[in-house]
């Protein structure tokens, strides 16, 4: 019996038809042969332009994991979820851009989202990926302290300026800004930049939040080091703590380029550091904001227990739980019933743009041991309960 087993709460926002759709979808993507074939097909450039294919995606996997084509459509979904105490973080998930004009466009989108968050209590954070503001190769070069050409220097200053203006806007409008974590080879430069923003804007409370991936074996030490710095200099740290999403890619690159893998030796080590990071934060709660981004029931239950032991109220605005839209509703909605702060990442965008995100969700639900089985088991239980 887990804290998150109540399926009536878990699926209270879903009609019978929506629940049936989710059931068939998880059955489908639970089949690894089908998912692998689908992945190959959907990566073909013309695939999403075939009208029948587009309609099928829209009615199934897109509907399950995406909030809509536009931010306005996303807000409507966010309002629905908020009726049940579940907040949303609109995630403009464009990936792989290379042009300065595209990076500037993302910055403008962030400004729009900050305004939306300011005016809608159901949106507690605005999030971006560092590489949505500039080329990954540049982050890598800066992280390695390599000399930049004049053009690169200019492009790097543009990235800095996008970071800076978005963080300042968040600070001035009192809207939390979350920065996602990506591949290790670009992360040093992004961390330095985000820490600079924290020093500047987290003077009274955590407004700027960075992300720590606990599948890296060096992140717990890094967090402790940042704590000492923040404590010495007197600013607040905001951290989303996740396990990490790029494990296969990280390991493959380390092998290929012959350097030691930055990833933990096994899952148990990632779990251990994840849970120890939660412990460290609650033990130093006066300095931290925490957003536990996880679908792991044990880690979520541990955080509840730690918050209780350290007299942290469920409604404390510096403590958040987070899951992805369309996944682990049992955790999100049961947490909401217990009055904890909980926010779903709610991606939005046209089908073509969000396809890489959808493919990752399908693969994750196929490859993460037990994830699909758990979703299916819960949906089955709820469908039976409703028939009674």
Binding positions for ligand FAD, rule: CB under 6 A: 180-181, 211, 213, 215, 242-247, 263-264, 266-267, 270, 293-296, 322-324, 345, 368
- Give bridge partners of residue 346 from the DSSP assignment: 90
Q: Among residues 307 and 331, whose Cβ is nearest to ligand FAD?
A: 331
Q: Which residues contact 18 (CB under 8 A, 6 or more apart)?
A: none
Chain residue at closest Cβ approach to ligand FAD: 293
Q: Among residues 247 and 376, whose Cβ is nearest to ligand FAD?
A: 247
Q: Among residues 37 and 368, whose Cβ is nearest to ligand FAD?
A: 368
C-beta of 296: minimal distance to ligand FAD in Å? 4
Q: What's the token pair of residue 354?
A: 């969000």
State how far the Cα of 331 lies from the Cα of 10, in Å rounded to an integer: 7
Q: Among residues 219 and 287, whose Cβ is nearest to ligand FAD?
A: 219
Q: Among residues 264 and 366, whose Cβ is nearest to ligand FAD?
A: 264
C-beta of 183: minimal distance to ligand FAD in Å? 9
Alpha carbons within 13 angstroms on the beta-carbon side of residue 245 total 16
Nearest-CA neighbor of 338 among 74, 4, 2, 1? 4
C-beta of 93: minimal distance to ligand FAD in Å? 11
C-beta of 180: minimal distance to ligand FAD in Å? 3
Q: Among residues 155 and 361, whose Cβ is nearest to ligand FAD?
A: 361
State how far the Cα of 37 lies from the Cα of 147, in Å rounded to an integer: 44
- Give bridge partners of residue 344 from the DSSP assignment: 88, 323
Q: What's the token pair of residue 3?
A: 């804290």
Q: Among residues 17 and 268, whose Cβ is nearest to ligand FAD?
A: 268
Alpha carbons within 13 angstroms on the beta-carbon side of residue 238 total 29
Classify residue 86 as exposed, middle or buried by CB count within 10 Å of its CB (0-12, 13-18, 19+): buried
Under 8 Å between Cβ of 115 and 172: no
Q: Among residues 7 and 328, whose Cβ is nearest to ligand FAD?
A: 328
Q: Among residues 153 and 221, whose Cβ is nearest to ligand FAD?
A: 221
Measured distance between the N- and C-terminal CA atoms of the chain, rounded to whole angstroms = 21
């Amino acid at each position: 019996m887990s804290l998150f087993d109540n399926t009536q709460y878990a699926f209270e926002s879903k009609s019978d038809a929506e629940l049936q759709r989710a059931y068939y979808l998880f059955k489908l993507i639970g089949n690894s042969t089908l998912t692998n074939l689908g992945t190959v097909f959907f990566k073909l450039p013309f695939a999403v332009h075939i009208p029948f294919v587009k309609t099928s995606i829209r009615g199934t996997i897109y509907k399950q994991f995406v909030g809509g084509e536009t931010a306005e459509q996303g807000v409507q979904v966010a309002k629905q979820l908020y009726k049940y105490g579940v907040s949303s973080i609109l995630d403009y998930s464009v990936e792989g851009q290379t042009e300065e004009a595209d990076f500037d466009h993302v910055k403008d989108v962030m400004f729009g989202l900050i305004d939306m968050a300011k005016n809608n209590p159901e949106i507690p954070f605005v999030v971006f990926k560092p590489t949505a503001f500039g080329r990954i190769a540049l982050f890598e070069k800066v992280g390695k302290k390599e000399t930049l050409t004049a053009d690169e220097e200019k492009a790097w200053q543009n990235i800095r300026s996008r970071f800076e203006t978005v963080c300042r806007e968040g600070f001035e409008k009192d809207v939390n800004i979350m920065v996602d974590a990506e591949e290790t080879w670009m992360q040093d430069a992004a961390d330095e930049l985000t820490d600079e923003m924290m020093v500047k804007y987290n003077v009274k409370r955590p407004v700027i939040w960075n992300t720590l991936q606990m599948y890296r074996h060096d992140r717990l030490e890094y967090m402790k080091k940042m704590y000492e710095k923040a404590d010495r200099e007197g600013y607040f740290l905001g951290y989303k703590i996740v396990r990490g999403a790029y494990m296969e890619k990280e390991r493959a690159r380390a092998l290929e380029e012959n350097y030691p893998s930055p990833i933990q030796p096994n899952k148990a080590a990632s779990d251990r550091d994840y849970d120890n990071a939660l412990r460290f934060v609650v033990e130093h709660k006066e300095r931290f904001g925490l957003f536990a981004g996880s679908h792991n029931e044990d880690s979520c239950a541990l955080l509840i227990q730690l918050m209780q032991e350290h007299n942290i109220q469920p409604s404390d605005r510096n403590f958040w739980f987070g899951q992805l839209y369309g996944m682990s509703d049992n955790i999100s909605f049961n947490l909401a019933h217990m009055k904890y702060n909980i926010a779903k990442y709610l991606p939005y965008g046209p089908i073509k743009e969000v396809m890489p995100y959808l493919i990752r969700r399908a693969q994750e639900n196929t490859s993460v041991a037990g994830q699909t089985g758990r979703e299916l088991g819960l949906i089955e239980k709820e469908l039976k309960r409703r028939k009674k």
